[in-house]
């Protein structure tokens, strides 16, 4: 086992079952991601990128795999409570649709991961909101922000607890090019400044240039 | 989680308010129906306790609430009167009461037929506010006892003249105010015209009194029977031992009870009605909490994606269940508060339109409402919370 590996996936298979019909999605995926690495996964729609990310993010249990180690922890066979704890303590998510809680303020959205860990939120949250350029928006509800601002809030929420691994699923997919560039700059800055390990899915070749490594997927397999 | 629960409710203010209102109506029904029952029983008990006596003698089979008529035999009264005789061992005074019914102040009242000479036992320290305690107190009975036999027919003019000075009523001040009665007002009771001759302070056992012998003449053709008896014991006697003595002497078709137990007997007699009231309240409250369950279930369906977000952030099944319970608790506690306010409003309205009713909204009932609210809230949140907790995070996140 390599302690430098943030993600160690071997022979990962997954299939969805809909109404008795089995639909294989991933076929023997192997993936190693080093600590502090910024990896971009690219590929056409339906090739299994999001499924892979959901399995790494412990949101989905694979049909079969030799190993799925995340942040130094073997996740195969973990019960729901331990998967939840690992997700809370070691992982951060950024989604294409931002997935902010619309009923609470920007500040509370960002503070939520810290609150779940029982940590004080005020200082880190305010610092982070200033860092993503949203210091004046703390009391607003997500619906009152532009889409670019909402994605910055989502990134702030994902990194506020300093997770070992940040998983981003097409974080620029709903943004115009200017906002997309700003969000990518923000992720790159988090990667550079904090040594944050990032696995990002994107369709955009231009955004991939800032990654340490680009992986291509097709038909449930990693090509590179 | 509490702040999130509050924020979720505030996001759907009208729905949350309607849910709380539904619970509030249920809680109000519970508080008012039980408050009316306990308040009325407590008031009756309190008034009965004002009688200067230690024992009450009742028919064995009767429900104490509906005691009436003349179930006692002549032998019972003779036995009691012997005990009250100067040579009798126990009773200082035996006080027969014959219950009739009269509609006054907008509702049925129990008419207390008592011997005018025994009114002091009922009045105690309370004052006569207007008029007198029966205009010719005792004269009517004295004439009866002197052997002036009544004519056999109630419609006989001679009979009417005979009982005329016994057709008198004394009422308490509360009934007088509610009914707007004045001295000399006349009322038709049992086919006779009675006249109000006195108004006494509120708090005595009955709200309406008439001479016992008058009622006996009208209803029982002079038969010395009664609906119940009070017994005042000689000073220093043990009421329990005295009750046993009377019980043995009177037989098993009569029950002798301590007056201090009257409240308990009332509540026991009311148990069946109470059960019905509680069942009605329970059904109403169940419907209200089903409303919360439905609201929470709808919320879970609507917020499937948010549940996925929370799961992605590391909120576990317990956390989601707590979130659901917190939301339901906030609704139900809000409902309890609304219910209490409504109950006090209803009591206020009843005081205006039915002032002789007593609705007791005391600490015990209010505490029960809070407990019902908390338990109902938690129970109604369990299934929706369980559904939320069981959602697969990836599937939940893909929900539209």
The CATH number that applies at residue A153 is 3.40.50.300
Q: What pLDDT was estimated at residue B156?
A: 57
Determine the residue among A59, A63, A92, A95 to mutate to test chain B binding: the one whose Cβ has the most chain B Cβ atoms within 10 Å. A59
Residue B60 CA to its chain's centroid (Å): 22
* B312 close to A (CB below 8 A): yes
Could you tell me if residue A160 is inside a domain?
Answer: yes
Tell me the Ramachandran region of residue A110: left when phi exceeds 0, alpha when psi lies from -120 to 50, beta otherwise. Answer: alpha
Helices (H), B253-303: 262-269, 271-302
3-state helix, strand, coil in chain A (%, to 5): 35, 30, 35
From B389's Cα to the closest Cα of chain A, the distance in A is: 11
Contact partners, residue A127, CB within 8 Å, separation at least 6: none
Q: What is the pLDDT of residues B292-307, one digit of tens each?
A: 888 888 888 888 888 8
Name the most confidently modeled range: A61-75, B87-101, B203-217, B258-272. A61-75
CB contact under 8 A, A108 and B392: no
Could you tell me if residue A164 is inside a domain?
Answer: yes
Please tell me the number of Cα atoms within 13 Å of B247 on its side-chain side.
Answer: 14
Could you tell me if residue A24 is inside a domain?
Answer: no
> Could you give the number of structural domains in chain A?
1
Residue of A nearest to B303 (CA): A101
* Residue A36, burial from CB neighbour count under 10 angstroms (0-12, 13-18, 19+): middle
Name the most confidently modeled range: A6-10, B15-19, B55-59, B384-388. A6-10
Q: What is the pLDDT of residues A66-111, one digit of tens each?
A: 999 999 999 998 998 999 999 999 999 998 888 899 989 999 999 9
Angle of helix B317-353 versus helix B271-302 axis, rounded to 10: 140
Taking contacts as CB-CB distances below 8 angstroms, the residues of chain B near A60 are: 392-394
If pLDDT is split at 50, 70 and 90, which confidence band does B151 have? very low
On the question of pLDDT at A64 being above 90, the answer is: yes
Q: What pLDDT was estimated at residue A31?
A: 94
Q: What pLDDT was estimated at residue B134?
A: 73
Q: What pLDDT was estimated at residue B118?
A: 84
* A79 close to B (CB below 8 A): no
Distances in Å between the Cα of B43 and the Cα atoms of A205, B232, B263, B340 are: 85, 22, 9, 22
* A80 close to B (CB below 8 A): yes
* B322 close to A (CB below 8 A): no
From A98's Cα to the closest Cα of chain B, the distance in A is: 10
Alpha carbons B268 and B284: distance in angstroms, whole number? 24
Give B160 or B262, the one with higher predicted confidence.
B262
Could you tell me if residue A31 is inside a domain?
Answer: no
Query: Do B97 and B58 touch, CB atoms closer than 8 A?
Result: no
3-state helix, strand, coil in chain B (%, to 5): 60, 15, 25
Taking contacts as CB-CB distances below 8 angstroms, the residues of chain B near A81 are: 316-317
Give B276 or B67, the one with higher predicted confidence.
B276
In which domain, by residue range, is A205 found? 36-61+82-222
Q: What is the pLDDT of residues A29-63, one digit of tens each?
A: 999 999 999 999 999 988 999 999 999 999 999 99
Could you tell me if residue A151 is inside a domain?
Answer: yes
Determine the residue among B314, B320, B322, B398 to mutate to test chain A binding: the one whose Cβ has the most chain A Cβ atoms within 10 Å. B314
Alpha carbons A110 and A128: distance in angstroms, whole number? 9
Beta carbon pairs, A and B, within 8 Å: 67
**Secondary structure letter of residue B79 according to DSSP:** H
Could you tell me if residue A6 is inside a domain?
Answer: no
On the question of pLDDT at B275 being above 70, the answer is: yes
**Secondary structure letter of residue B171 according to DSSP:** E
CB contact under 8 A, A116 and B313: yes
Query: Do B82 and B254 touch, CB atoms closer than 8 A?
Result: no
Name A67's bridge partners: A10
* B317 close to A (CB below 8 A): yes
Which stretch of B175-179, B277-281, B329-333, B359-363 has the lowest confidence by average pLDDT? B277-281
On the question of pLDDT at B138 being above 90, the answer is: no
Question: What residues 87-106 of chain A have any CB closer than 8 A to a CB of chain B?
Answer: 87-89, 91, 93, 95, 99-104
| Complex ipTM value | 0.89
* B2 close to A (CB below 8 A): no
Work out the average pLDDT over A200-220. 87
Cα radius of gyration (chain B): 30
* A140 close to B (CB below 8 A): no
CB contact under 8 A, A99 and B309: yes
Could you tell me if residue A72 is inside a domain?
Answer: no
């Amino acid at each position: 086992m390599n302690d430098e590996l943030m993600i160690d996936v071997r022979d990962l298979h997954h299939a969805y079952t809909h109404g008795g019909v089995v639909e294989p999605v991933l076929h023997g995926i192997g993936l190693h991601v080093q600590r502090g690495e910024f990896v971009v996964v690219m590929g056409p729609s339906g090739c299994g990128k999001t499924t892979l990310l959901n399995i790494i993010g412990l949101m989905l249990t694979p049909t079969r795999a030799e190993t799925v180690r995340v942040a130094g922890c073997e996740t195969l066979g973990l019960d729901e409570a331990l998967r939840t704890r690992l997700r809370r303590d070691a992982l951060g998510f950024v989604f294409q649709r931002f997935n902010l809680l619309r009923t609470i303020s920007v500040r509370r959205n960002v503070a939520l991961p810290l609150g779940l860990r029982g940590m004080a939120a005020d200082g880190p949250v305010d610092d982070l909101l200033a860092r993503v350029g949203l210091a004046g928006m703390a009391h607003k509800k997500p619906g009152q922000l532009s889409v670019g601002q909402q994605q910055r809030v989502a990134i702030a929420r994902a990194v506020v607890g300093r997770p070992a691994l940040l998983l981003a699923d097409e974080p620029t997919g709903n943004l115009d090019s200017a906002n997309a560039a700003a969000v990518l700059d923000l992720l790159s800055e988090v990667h550079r400044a904090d040594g944050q390990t990032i696995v990002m899915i994107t369709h955009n070749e231009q955004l991939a240039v800032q990654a340490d490594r680009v992986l291509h997927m097709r038909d449930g397999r990693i090509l590179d | 989680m509490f702040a999130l629960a509050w924020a979720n409710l505030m996001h759907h203010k009208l729905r949350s308010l309607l849910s709380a209102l539904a619970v509030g109506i249920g809680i109000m029904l519970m508080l008012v129906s039980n408050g009316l029952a306990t308040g009325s029983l407590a008031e009756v008990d309190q008034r009965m306790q004002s009688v200067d006596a230690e024992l009450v003698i009742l028919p064995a089979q009767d429900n104490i609430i509906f005691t009436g008529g003349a179930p006692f035999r002549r032998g019972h009264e003779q036995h009691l009167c012997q005990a009250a005789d100067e040579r009798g061992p126990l009773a200082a005074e035996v006080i027969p009461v014959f219950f009739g019914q009269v509609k006054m102040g907008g509702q049925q009242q129990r008419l207390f037929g008592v011997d005018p000479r025994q009114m002091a036992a009922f009045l105690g320290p309370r004052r006569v506010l207007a008029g007198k305690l029966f205009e010719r107190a005792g004269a009517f009975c004295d004439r009866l006892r002197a052997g002036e036999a009544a004519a056999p027919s109630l419609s006989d003019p001679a009979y009417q003249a005979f009982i005329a000075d016994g057709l008198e009523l004394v009422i308490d001040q509360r009934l007088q105010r509610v009914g707007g009665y004045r001295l000399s007002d006349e009322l038709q009771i049992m086919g006779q015209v009675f006249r109000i001759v006195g108004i006494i302070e509120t708090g005595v056992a009955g709200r309406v009194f008439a001479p016992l012998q008058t009622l006996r003449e009208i209803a029982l053709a002079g038969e010395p029977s009664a609906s119940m008896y009070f017994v005042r014991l000689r000073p220093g006697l043990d009421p329990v031992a005295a009750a046993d003595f009377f019980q043995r002497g009177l037989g098993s078709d009569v029950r002798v009870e301590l007056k201090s137990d009257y409240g308990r007997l009332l509540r026991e007699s009311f148990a069946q009605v109470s059960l019905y009231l509680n069942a009605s309240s329970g059904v109403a409250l169940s419907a209200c909490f089903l409303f919360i369950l439905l609201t929470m279930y709808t919320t879970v369906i609507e917020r499937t994606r948010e549940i996925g977000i929370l799961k992605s952030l590391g909120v576990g099944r317990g956390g989601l269940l707590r979130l659901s319970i917190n939301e339901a608790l906030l609704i139900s506690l809000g409902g309890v508060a609304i219910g209490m306010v409504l109950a006090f409003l209803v009591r206020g309205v009843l005081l205006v339109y039915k002032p002789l009713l007593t609705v007791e909204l005391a600490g015990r009932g209010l505490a029960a409402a809070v407990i019902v609210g908390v338990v109902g809230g938690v129970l109604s949140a369990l299934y929706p919370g369980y559904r939320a907790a069981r959602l697969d995070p990836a599937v939940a996140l893909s929900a539209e």
